Chain A
Amino acid sequence: NAGVMQNPRHLVRRRGQEARLRCSPMKGHSHVYWYRQLPEEGLKFMVYLQKENIIDESGMPKERFSAEFPKEGPSILRIQQVVRGDSAAYFCASSPRTSAGQYFGPGTRLTVT
């Protein structure tokens, strides 16, 4: 059973460009969470999605950030007009139910130059 997959593993963008981060959850997992790990900071919750629905986006910046989990295909975290402060590791986690442990992907390391 494949684990959570994220791609790309590394992404370099210039200021003002768009970044698209992809996450395929573990088979059988319908709950997807995105977290951000800034340098020298801990992991912070961003958004929680189920298929075709954003359930909780309380941790996501109001502007430039969006997320989706379509009926078919991976979950996508989209950052428009990136700024240097967006440089971080972005992790996706999936779970079979909200009360269970979460399984993390290897992360996407975004660098904004």
Chain B
Amino acid sequence: KAGVTQTPRYLIKTRGQQVTLSCSPISGHRSVSWYQQTPGQGLQFLFEYFSETQRNKGNFPGRFSGRQFSNSRSEMNVSTLELGDSALYLCASSFRGDNEQFFGPGTRLTVL
């Protein structure tokens, strides 16, 4: 069974730009969660989607948004990038959300 895939793996953007990250979950999994990992704040929950509906959202500004498609693939978007958005963005795939979550390799975003 293929694992969780994330594209792109690396991104370099400048302040003010916007970015879209993609996550393809494990086949059959309907829940996709997104996390931000930084050295200072650690791993923080962004949001979770289940069957195209956002079920939970973390404490991030509205510049961070996401969506999920009917095939369970998910995208997250960050608009008006700030230097502090530089981080490793991880997505996790789960059958129903509240059980085992399997992570992808992450997208390393650098904002200059």
Q: Do A and B come from one complex?
A: no
